Amino acid sequence: MDCHRAHVRGSAGVVDVYEAVDGDPPPLREAKIAAIEVFGRGGECFHRGDRMGARASFDHTLRICPGDTVARVYLDRRSGVLTPAVET
């Protein structure tokens, strides 16, 4: 499952990062798959600097899949740049 792009220390470029969901319990895996498009929009907004769009997308992701820790990390990233509106 595509997760996001990241800068790797010591690398000149950006790499794609993927989240493996095969080991997740079936309900969590299914919820993550259901939320993938919304999550992807959140990642795109985040990397463009659209904080409001990112927050809205990641909040929506967490409503679909409250156990999505990667969406939570994006919301918590960079000292609270995005503060989650959804409590889990």
Domain ranges of the chain: 23-88
Q: What is the pLDDT of residue 80?
A: 53
pLDDT averaged over every residue in the chain: 80
Task: Read off the tokens for 30.
Answer: 């299914």
Q: pLDDT tens across 58-86, in order? A: 999 999 999 998 888 888 874 455 555 55
Contact, 47 vs 14, CB < 8 A?
no
Q: Give the mean model confidence (pLDDT) for residues 5-19.
A: 70
The pTM assigned to this predicted structure is 0.74
